[in-house]
Chain A
Amino acid sequence: MKKELTNILNDDKQLESALCEAMHRVGEQRDGARINAMKQMSEDEFRQMLNKTATEPVPRVNMFSRSMFVRAIAACACLVLVLVGINYIDMGQQNNPAGYASLFNTYYQGDKVNWNTFDAGDDKLNAKGHPSTAYMLENATKLMSRRDARGNHEGIRRLEYLLTLNYKKSLEHEIRWYLGLGYMRDGQVNKARLEFRRVISLKSPHTADAQQILQKLK
């Protein structure tokens, strides 16, 4: 008997078969008793008993189907995301005084630079198969050239990320220059100052421009 029980516990098909049999036997017994009980009840007695079962209402949430409920939640989530997105763009613009935006436009030249010349021989991927510093820089600056604050934020994020990688050191001054411009456009003046000071310390071709901006940011 012990062996049979052990066997059945290791054989799902056999267990299901035995379970079915057990449930059918118990179920038949119960259902038989219920049928007999109903047979002996008058219509009034049966209705009375049914009315007792109706005292607890089924939760009203089931008025509409579960899928509709999920859809409603998804719609609300989308609405919240849209509102947050609009707010996000607005916030970027509000924190971005017109002066910083015009300074950015004056000094930003990312779209005029041919970044390929910085990574000769491999325009997108470096020798290890990773995106080259120049390629990542090009993408980030392209994003920053967009009018919306979101593009600028994404550009900043990518440049910050690039600085955590094993980037091409000869391009550090470019990364920090565009990062400084991005911070300035975003109204993060302190961070922008820091980057421009680094640009100067790296003896970048942007040194003169960086110094000018630092003067204007005082």
Chain B
Amino acid sequence: MKEKNNFMPAIDDLGKFFGDERPKVVKYLLAQYGKYGFGQDDADDCFQEGCMAVWRNIQDGKLTEENLTCSLSTYLTTCCRNHATHSLKKMVSIETFEGIIDEEGNLTRDVPDDHDDTPKEEIVEILIEVVADLPEPCDKVLWGFYRDNLSMDAMAQMLGYSNADTMKTTKSRCMKKLKERMLNILKDM
């Protein structure tokens, strides 16, 4: 019991994490499968089942802190998507998440990382502070793009933007804001 109390902040964060993920995933599933008659209740069910799959994979040891090579958000979305395709009995190809985990929840490959340049440690430290406290909607946009490796189309669907172009515009505005914050840090140095 004592041990669990130590994890209370983590459990609170977990509640927030699933609370934030829920509308994103539901919107994404509706955008992807709505045309097949997939409704709000179906998407809610798939989210619930996807979350349970994540929990089960952790309990079974299939998913650990060490072998998670994509973000937990991407992993969860993939589980929900797999459940949706199962329930629809149709395979719908979605490039963004295809092949990251198999239907059993095992990781099949690493998320590609094409960033060869190793950034300076001090710069990364500064950025860690900046990215931990990004304002809305940049919080979701930049994390979705750089951490979850989402495509512009997938992000537009998840965050309720009209199309990938609007998403790109928002992302470039967010990058501008991020630079402004970094400039302020530079001035204070």
Residues of A within 8 A of B (CB): 1-2, 4-6, 8-9, 12-28, 30-41, 43, 46-47, 49-50, 52-54, 56, 58, 60, 62-66, 68, 70
Contacts and interface: CB of A to CB of B under 8 A. Distances in A.
B146 A25 contact: no
B13 A34 contact: yes
B123 A49 contact: no
B84 interface: no
B58 interface: yes
6 contacts: A18-B120, A22-B124, A23-B146, A35-B64, A50-B48, A56-B19
Contacts of A24: 147
Interface of B: 3-4, 7, 10-11, 13-15, 17-19, 22-23, 26-27, 30-31, 34-35, 39-40, 43-44, 48, 51-52, 54-55, 58-59, 63-65, 68, 71-72, 113, 115-120, 122-124, 126-128, 130-132, 142-143, 146-147, 157, 160, 162-163, 175, 178-179, 182-183, 185-186, 189
A64 B32 CA distance: 10
A1 B120 CA distance: 10
Given A18-B123, A22-B128, A58-B23, A9 B30 contact: no
B124 A6 contact: no
Given A26-B132, A37-B11, A38-B58, A19 B189 contact: no
B128 to A, nearest CB: 5
A60 B113 CA distance: 37
A66 B63 contact: no
B34 A63 contact: yes
A2 B186 contact: yes
B144 to A, nearest CB: 10
Contacts of A23: 131, 142-143, 146-147
A38 B54 contact: yes
Contacts of B15: 49, 52-53
Contact of A39 (B39, B59, B115, B143): B59
Given A53-B18, A53-B22, A58-B23, A21 B34 contact: no
Given A19-B146, A27-B71, A62-B27, A6 B65 contact: no
Contact of B10 (A13, A28, A37, A66): A37
